[in-house]
Amino acid sequence: MESGAGSCRDSRGDLTRFALLSIAAAVVTIAMKVIAWQITGSVGLLSDAAESVVNLVAAVGAFVALRVAARPADTGHNFGHTKAEYFSAVIEGVMIFVAAGAIIVTAINRLINPTELEAVGPGLAISVGATVINGVVAVVLLRAGRRHRSITLEADGKHLMTDVWTTVGVVFGVFLVAVTGWLRLDPLIAMAVAINILVVGSRLIWRSAAGMMDAALPESDLAVIDTTLSPHRDRGVVFHDIRTREAGHRRFVQMHMLVPGEWSVQHAHDLAEEVEGELRAALSHLDVAIHVEPVDDPRAYESWRLS
């Protein structure tokens, strides 16, 4: 007997408003950073502006992904569309690699042909203003991502926060260039920025790939499931072949529940419903599928072989 009444309903609401906030912030900061680069001629500030262009592309991708992920399950996608969020994170990671490559090429050219910087004070002031905007939006996105279990918002927030620290480093470096007169420090800073965002891009792609490969739930979630099932085990019920996965913000768990063979179908079904309700209460956005079998049947203990 299969019990699958545990489908959860998406109560996150419309998350695209956060993506729109990110898009607006990216447009504003790109304009500010381009102005800072033009008035100073700093390749370090140019690299910072290039990363903000990546922010814009990522924010647009996040908007599209969140729109798709919010669609309910249908006949063509029985488990919903939540994996769309992973594609957004992959796109963001790839764009980071593109931006890093452009930054490195520009920095090498400037390293070979160093150029004097101009109007450093106003340029740095504009960059600091852009950093404040990114910092505020990054905090909003990170909180929303964790609250709503959205890898898209969390990835966008982490990228923006990386951009904040990148800008802080660039501003400090350009300031040192102005103070010391060592012009080659400017492209060296740009290269450091490129390496930093390459690391961020690699992490985003790795995490997204794990999600698309149906990775099991983290140990913390598995511990919650085990704790929830323990009281029923004490009553002689056996749970085995427990398998889990996640897709975007949704969690999935399926298991075999072995009960005494003399139980009625109704009795076993009632217990399955009870277990499902407890699991959904313990973990948000959880879909539960329970297969009920007699505890005294040897075939009930067969399970898929996992390496």
Question: What is the side-by-side order of every strand in the sheet holding 250-259?
Answer: 2-3, 286-294, 250-259, 238-247
* Per-residue confidence (pLDDT) for residue 133, from 0 to 100: 93
Residue 232 neighbours by CB under 8 Å, 6+ apart? 239, 271, 275
* Per-residue confidence (pLDDT) for residue 290, from 0 to 100: 93
Angle at 295 between CA 290 and CA 297, to 5 degrees: 110
Residue closest to 286 by CA, chosen among 257, 244, 256: 244
Distance CA 43, CA 37 (A): 7
* Per-residue confidence (pLDDT) for residue 9, from 0 to 100: 43
Contact 18, 160 (CB under 8 A): no
* Per-residue confidence (pLDDT) for residue 74, from 0 to 100: 76
Contact 187, 45 (CB under 8 A): no
Contact 134, 168 (CB under 8 A): no
Distance CA 282, CA 273 (A): 14
Q: Where are the beta strands (DSSP E) in 155-249?
A: 238-247
Give me 31's structure tokens. Answer: 């304009």
Q: Helical H runs in 80-150? A: 84-112, 120-148
* Per-residue confidence (pLDDT) for residue 261, from 0 to 100: 86
Per-residue confidence in pLDDT tens, the chain, 307 aa: 555 544 444 445 578 888 899 999 999 999 998 998 888 887 777 777 877 887 788 788 888 878 887 787 777 777 777 777 777 777 777 777 777 777 777 778 777 877 777 777 888 888 889 989 999 999 999 998 888 878 778 878 877 887 787 777 777 777 777 778 787 777 787 788 778 778 877 777 777 776 677 778 889 999 999 999 999 988 889 998 899 988 777 789 999 999 998 899 999 999 999 999 999 999 988 889 999 999 888 877 776 655 4
Q: What is the pTM of this model?
A: 0.64
* Per-residue confidence (pLDDT) for residue 6, from 0 to 100: 45
Q: What share of the chain is helix, strand, coil (3-state, %, to 5)?
A: 65, 10, 25
Residue closest to 225 by CA, chosen among 151, 276, 273: 276
